[in-house]
Amino acid sequence: MNSSSLVEVRALSKKYCRDLKKSLWYGLHDIGKEITGRRQNAEPLRAGEFWALRNVSFSLSSGDTLGLLGRNGAGKTTLLRVLSGVIRPDLGFAKVRGEVAPLIELGSGFSPLLTGRENIYVNAAILGLSGRIVNGLIDEIVDFAEISTSSTCLYRAIVKG
Amino acid sequence: MARDFVGSRHLAYRLLIRSLRSQYRQSLLGYFWVVIAPIAATGVLLFLSKQNVFRSVETTIPYGLYLFAGILFWQIFTDSYQRPIQWLSTYRLVMGRVNFPREALILGALCEVLIQAGVRVSMLLFVLLWLGREIAATFLLAPLAIMALIGLGLVVGLVLAPLGLLYGDVERGMNLIMVFWFVMTPVVYPPPVHWPASLLNQVNPVTPLVVTARELVFGTGLTQLGPFVVVSTLVIVTLFVGSLLVRLALPHLVERVSV
């Protein structure tokens, strides 16, 4: 890895399967291989599989900005998921120095039965922020989200009206 | 692995608070449900036995109490097996978005199980005191048997979790199996002594745990100490294996079910 690069992606490939039943079966198969310690072969593709990412390479240094453009299903989110370490590449590698704060589909961790404030603490904890840090930031967060009058209402009530 | 659990304790605490708060918010009776469920179950079964729907059995302690304790123990066991899958399933989508320490989910689920078990045992103690029964000194050792029960539940839960997250069949199947398992465990009847029914004592790992927990609570002498020790030891070993299994399987599960 280049000493100045913060994000380094080399020959990254990731395959997916659109057929749910097959995908679940492959998942079970892969778990079995993982447990018995046999390394799975990324190639060839199994029936129903396709490459969501194929041979992606790039590197980003401090100060760089990279925009990803593509049609639905082009693999943008998949790349972000690999970069945030949520899923592992089938081939190649992605290395990231520093911390990643992925903003993929905000609010997926929100509970409709918690207040805005409670949800802020939970989601901050999921992103690795301690309660003490959030205590110092909570007013700023509430202002930014423009929920200052409703932050103690249930999330369900906030989003519905 | 232990270090990862320690590192995730802050997140586990937050998630636990979240779970406890949101669980009963949309209900009138709230936390009382923890108390109501076993009392109602005991009431129904006691009524049925009084009506001779099933052959009433001889127990050294009042049958109602015998039943109540057994049901509480059984519920602690089912809680412990359901909770890990439930937590993993709740955070399925979040796991696909953020790479937070997954150990927090297991730790949080475990804490929730411990809290609920604590409430259930306190309830039992309260009922015994309320009825003016003398509390046996062995009651102090009952938490050991309860922990073994929780451990066994967690083992079942952790081993089934990977499969259960992939296929809905597991949950449906387990609901069915649990009904049979309940009937096969001496909850509403004393452990069978005559062959072949007594075979249940040997093949059902829950039996020695429930029996021992009840004997410790009522101080009636231990009859299944040997099997209890064997099962508890196996639980400790398999608990480790189960956690390892979930750890290895989770990345694959996240990939398949959280997109």
Nearest CA in chain B to A119: B18
Query: Which chain A positions have a beta carbon within 8 Å of B165's beta carbon?
Result: none
Domain spans in chain A, listed from the N-terminal domain onward? 5-96, 116-160
Average pLDDT over residues B158-169: 91
Q: In angstroms, rounded to a whole number, what is the distance separating the alpha carbons of residues B13 and B108?
A: 7
Q: Cβ–Cβ of A86/B256 closer than 8 Å?
A: no
Q: Name the residue among B111, B216, B217 with its Cα closest to residue B154.
A: B111
Q: What is the CA radius of gyration of chain A?
A: 20
Strands of A49-61's sheet in order across:
A49-61, A5-17, A91-96
What is the least distance, in Å, from the CA of A109 to any CA of chain B? 6
Nearest CA in chain A to B105: A126
> Can you give the pLDDT at residue B170?
92
Cα first-last separation, chain B? 27
Query: Which chain B positions have a beta carbon within 8 Å of A154's beta carbon?
Result: 25
What is the least distance, in Å, from the CA of B162 to any CA of chain A? 8
> Can you give the pLDDT at residue B172?
92
Is residue B6 in some structural domain? no
Q: Name the residue among B105, B117, B203 with its Cα closest to residue B158.
A: B105
Question: Which residues of chain B are at the A interface, by a Cβ-Cβ cutoff of 8 Å?
Answer: 10-11, 14-15, 18, 21-22, 25-26, 91, 93-100, 162-163, 166-167, 245, 248-249, 251-257
> Can you give the pLDDT at residue A24?
92
Q: What is the CA radius of gyration of chain B?
A: 19
Asked whether the beta carbons of B252 and A24 are under 8 A apart, the reply is: no
Q: Cβ–Cβ of B97/A105 closer than 8 Å?
A: yes
What is the least distance, in Å, from the CA of A42 to any CA of chain B? 14
Q: In angstroms, rounded to a whole number, what is the distance separating the alpha carbons of residues B94 and A86?
A: 10
Nearest CA in chain A to B99: A86
> Can you give the pLDDT at residue B111?
95
Q: Name the residue among B85, B86, B49 with its Cα closest to residue B70.
A: B49
**DSSP codes of every residue in A81-128:** HHHTTSS--SEEEEEE-S-----SSTTTT--TTSBHHHHHHHHHHHTT
Q: Give the range among A86-90, B16-20, B51-55 with minimum mean pLDDT.
A: B51-55
Q: Cβ–Cβ of B97/A28 closer than 8 Å?
A: no
Q: In angstroms, rounded to a whole number, what is the distance separating the alpha carbons of residues B192 and B258?
A: 46
Please say if the pLDDT value at position B82 is more than 90: yes
Q: In angstroms, rounded to a whole number, what is the distance separating the alpha carbons of residues B155 and B234?
A: 10
The 10s digit of each residue's pLDDT in B99-146 is 888 899 999 999 999 999 999 999 999 999 999 888 999 999 999 999
Please say if the pLDDT value at position B31 is more than 90: no
Task: Measure CB to CB from residue A84 to each of B18, B22, B99 and give the nearest one.
Answer: B99
Between A110 and B167, residue with greater pLDDT: B167
Q: Which residues of chain A have pLDDT under 70?
A: 1-3, 39-41, 43, 106, 160-161
Mean pLDDT, chain B, whole residue set = 89
Q: Measure the CA angle with vertex B243, ends B241 and B248; round to 5°.
A: 95
Calculated CA dihedral for residues B135, B47, B206, B230, nearest 10 degrees: 40
Query: Which chain A positions have a beta carbon within 8 Å of B246's beta carbon?
Result: none
> Can you give the pLDDT at residue B258?
75
Task: Measure CB to CB from residue B14 to each of A105, A113, A125 and give the nearest one.
Answer: A125
Q: Please report the number of interchain residue pairs, chain A to chain B, with beta-carbon separation below 8 angstroms.
A: 92
Q: Which one of A122, A152, A154, A156 would you mutate to disrupt binding with B, by most B Cβ within 10 Å of its Cβ?
A: A122
Backbone angles phi, psi at A50, to 5 degrees: -150, 160
> Can you give the pLDDT at residue A8?
93
Task: Measure CB to CB from residue A126 to each of B21, B98, B252 and give the nearest one.
Answer: B98
What is the least distance, in Å, from the CA of A141 to any CA of chain B? 18
The 10s digit of each residue's pLDDT in B178-230 is 999 998 999 888 888 888 878 877 789 999 999 999 999 999 889 899 999 99
Q: Name the residue among A128, A5, A2 with its Cα closest to residue B101.
A: A128
> Can you give the pLDDT at residue A40?
66
Query: Which chain B positions have a beta carbon within 8 Å of A104's beta carbon?
Result: 97-98
3-state secondary structure of B257: helix
Which value does ipTM take for this structure?
0.81
What is the least distance, in Å, from the CA of A27 to any CA of chain B? 6
> Can you give the pLDDT at residue A161?
52
A32 touches chain B (CB under 8 A): no
Q: In angstroms, rounded to a whole number, what is the distance separating the alpha carbons of residues A130 and A132?
A: 5
A72 touches chain B (CB under 8 A): no
CB-count exposure of residue A106 (10 Å: 0-12, 13-18, 19+): exposed
Looking at 3.40.640.10, 3.40.50.300, 1.20.140.10, 3.30.1360.120, the CATH number of the domain A5-96 comes to 3.40.50.300
- The domain in which residue B51 lies consists of 12-257
Please say if the pLDDT value at position B55 is more than 70: no
Question: Does residue B190 have a cis bond before it (omega within 30 degrees)?
Answer: no
pTM of the full structure = 0.87
How many Å separate Cα B165 from the centre of its chain? 20
Q: How many domains does chain B have?
A: 1
> Can you give the pLDDT at residue A14?
92
Q: Name the residue among A58, A49, A59 with its Cα closest to residue A90.
A: A49
Is residue B121 in some structural domain? yes
Q: In angstroms, rounded to a whole number, what is the distance separating the alpha carbons of residues B238 and B182?
A: 22
Is residue B4 in some structural domain? no
> Can you give the pLDDT at residue A26?
92
Q: At which residue do the structure tokens 């492959």 appear?
A: A26
Asked whether the beta carbons of B224 and B211 are under 8 A apart, the reply is: yes
Alpha helices (runs of H) in B91-204, residue ranges in sequence order: 92-95, 103-130, 142-166, 169-183, 199-203
